[in-house]
Amino acid sequence: MDEIFHVPQAQKYCEGKFNEWDPMITTLPGLYLVSVGVIKPLVWLADWTGDVVCSTAMLRFVNLLFNCGNLYILYVTICKLHLKDKSRAAGRRVLSALTLSTFPVLYFFTFLYYTDAGSTFFTLFAYLMCLYGCHKAAALLGICAMLFRQTNVIWVAFCAGSVVAQKMDEAWRLEQSKKRDEKSPSRILLAVSGARKVARFLLGYLTTPINIKAAVSSTWPYAVAGLGFVAFVVFNDGIVVGDRSSHEACLNFPQLFYFFSFTLVFSLPVSLCRQQLIKFLHVLKKHLLLLLLVTVVSLLLVWKFTFVHKYLLADNRHFTFYVWKNIYQKHQLVRFLLIPGYLFAAWSFLDTLKSKSLFWILAFCVCLVAATVPQKLLEFRYFIVPYLLYRIHIPLPSLPRLLLEFGLYTVVNAATVYIFLHKTFQWDNSDAVQRFMW
């Protein structure tokens, strides 16, 4: 349904009409620029003429190339993040990358001319360069990602945050070694009992000139990219280009709960087990007062900060329309009754990331909030990048679990493609064929 805007705009760029812009398009022209940059040389080399040049099929082909790139980037990133047992885990790394490249929401839009495949490619590529310490290249790739979707500036900030988090982790270990506290872990685990200790450390670290200087010297390329984005926002008088009426920011805090639930469902084969449920019950028993406090806060957030976009209520082509209609609109109390499930999903999300340092988790969660909460529209495509970043950082699953995950994704992909192709319908006021999709 977005192709009716993207395809004509790309075709204008193919014709050299760079000064013409469809006001209904709200993202920057990265997709069209890359498409022209890929297709024009191919046309020249193959001596193609006629309708094939910048046709819808050729434009969609660009996204197929991006998904091949996503497969490779995911594989290399997984190898970088999971270095232990390199020889024994080689097959699991390959299968993990292959499975994640078929992640249903991303996989579906690979075959359409949408921004998601390219946006994901450049964002993941930027993070990979960040992991290898190539921060100038990472910042440049981050700018490319922002040209596909402006909100990718958040993941550029995450790259910078992960660098600072690593330096904080090193400073923490050095501080603990000076204290000769053998019980202090080299990595900081997410624990409520250590909140005061961590807060003191953060306050001391962030107010020390030498630490500030070290952070700036490592992250200045990302700062330059961020300043460029700020300049764009000031010049454009907002983050959205084109039609802004349907893309207004708000504090839609339940978006976090939707994301945690989404993550739990798609990571079930690799994250959930009987021991996980037992562990959660023990946590509830041990931290009952904290649970009650979090529950009260969650009730307040759901009560006061639930926003429903007009597209969600009116556009019956999206699966989210039926999720909202058949679950949330059944009764006004349903959104509150789901809170225990939200809390379990959030706890499971954090528990599976326990191998990461607290500073990294804080950086990721801050960026996750920034990427989801301001969005008024419940749209699963907005969850692609944070889900993939979450998934590649959890411990490498066993081979049977990976096969189960791949099987789940395959079934979902087959079902969604079948429904899209064969379960068409028509609106009363239109003769056009309508299709169900993510």
Residue 70: pLDDT over 80: yes
pTM: 0.92
Mean pLDDT within 234-261: 89
In angstroms, the CA 230 to CA 253 distance is 24
Q: Is the pLDDT of residue 396 over 60?
A: yes
| Structure token digits, residue 293 | 């406090």
Q: Would you state the pLDDT for residue 180?
A: 59
Domain assignment of residue 72, yes or no? no
What would you measure as the largest C-alpha separation in the chain, in angstroms? 75
Whether 308 and 328 map to the same domain: the answer is yes
Q: Which two tokens stand for residue 69?
A: 């790139």
DSSP state of 433: E
Identify whether 104 is part of a domain.
no
Name which residue leads in pLDDT, 214 or 10. 10
φ/ψ of 247, rounded to 5, equals: -135, 55
Report DSSP state, residue 192. Answer: G
The C-alpha atoms of residue 3 and residue 19 are separated, in whole angstroms, by 20
Residues 254 and 372 in one domain: yes
Question: Does the residue 341 lie in any domain?
Answer: yes
Using 50, 70 and 90 to split pLDDT, how confident is the model at 51?
low
- The DSSP output letter for 115 is S
pLDDT for position 87: 59
Q: Are 281 and 312 in the same domain? A: yes
| Residue 185 scores a pLDDT above 60 | no
228's CB contacts (< 8 A; 6+ apart) are 143
Identify whether residues 342 and 237 lie together within a single domain.
Answer: no
The alpha carbon of residue 104 and the mean position of all alpha carbons in its chain are separated, in whole angstroms, by 13
Instruction: Write the single-letter amino acid at 336.
Output: F
pLDDT in tens, 235-246: 998 898 877 777
- Grade residue 169 by pLDDT with cuts at 50, 70 and 90: confident
DSSP state of 249: -
Confidence (pLDDT) at 190: 44
Share of the chain above pLDDT 90, in %: 63
Query: Which is nearest to 376 in space by CA: 246, 286, 268, 273?
Result: 246
- Structural domain total, the chain: 2
Which of 385-389's residues contact partners 24+ apart within 8 Å by CB, and which partners?
A: 385/119, 385/120, 385/123, 385/124, 385/152, 385/155, 386/259, 387/103, 387/259, 387/262, 387/263, 387/266, 388/74, 388/100, 388/103, 388/106, 388/120, 388/124, 389/127, 389/155, 389/158, 389/364
Residues 264, 310: one domain? Answer: yes
More confident residue, 372 or 185: 372
Shared domain for 142 and 256, answered yes or no, is no
- Tens digits of per-residue pLDDT, 197-228? 777 778 877 778 888 888 888 899 999 999 99
Least confident of 27-31, 143-147, 240-244: 240-244
**432 within some domain:** no
Note down the domain range covering 364. 245-397
Higher-pLDDT residue of 128, 240: 128
Last residue of a domain, one of 227, 244, 261: 244
pLDDT at 273 (0 to 100):
78
Mean pLDDT of 77-87: 82
Is residue 113 assigned to a domain? no
Of 30-39, 214-223, 245-254, 324-333, the one with minimum mean pLDDT is 245-254
Tell whether 110 is covered by a domain: no
- 240 lies in the same domain as 252: no
Q: Which among 217, 244, 271 is the end of a domain?
A: 244
Together in a domain, 211 and 264: no
293 in a structural domain: yes
State pLDDT tens for residues 103-112: 999 999 999 9
Predicted confidence band at 265 (pLDDT cuts at 50, 70, 90)? very high
Q: What is the CA radius of gyration of the chain?
A: 23
One domain for residues 225 and 264: no
Same domain, 251 and 393: yes
Q: Do 263 and 387 share a domain, yes or no?
A: yes
CB 392 within 8 A of CB 98: no
Of 244, 268, 294, the one marking the end of a domain is 244
Q: Does 309 share its domain with 336?
A: yes
How much is the mean pLDDT over the chain? 89
| pLDDT at residue 186 greater than cutoff 50 | no
Do 151 and 121 touch, CB atoms closer than 8 A? no
- Percent share of the chain, pLDDT over 70: 94
> Is residue 338 included in any domain, yes or no?
yes
Asked if residue 88 has pLDDT above 70, the reply is no
Cβ proximity of 385 and 106 under 8 Å:
no
Of 171-180, 342-351, 404-413, the one with minimum mean pLDDT is 171-180
What is residue 193's three-state secondary structure? helix
DSSP-derived secondary structure for 313-349: HH-TTBHHHHHIIIIITS-TTHHHHTHHHHHHHHHHH
Question: Could you tell me the CA-to-CA distances from 397 to 73, 235, 361, 403, 405 in Å, in that order?
Answer: 19, 46, 20, 10, 10
Closest CA to 399 of 40, 93, 51: 93
What is 17-75 written as a DSSP string?
-TT---TT--S-THHHHHHHHHHHHHHHHHT--GGGTT-HHHHHHHHHHHHHHHHHHHH
Give Cβ neighbours of residue 350 (< 8 Å, ≥ 6 apart).
190, 361
CA 299, CA 277: separation in Å to the nearest integer? 23
Task: Give the mean pLDDT of 73-78.
Answer: 96
The whole-number pLDDT of residue 179 equals 66
Q: State the Cα–Cα distance between residues 436 and 438, nearest whole angstrom.
A: 7
Question: How is the chain split among helix, strand and coil, in percent rounded to 5?
Answer: 70, 0, 25
* Residue 206 token pair: 């962030």
Per-residue pLDDT at 310 exceeds 50: yes
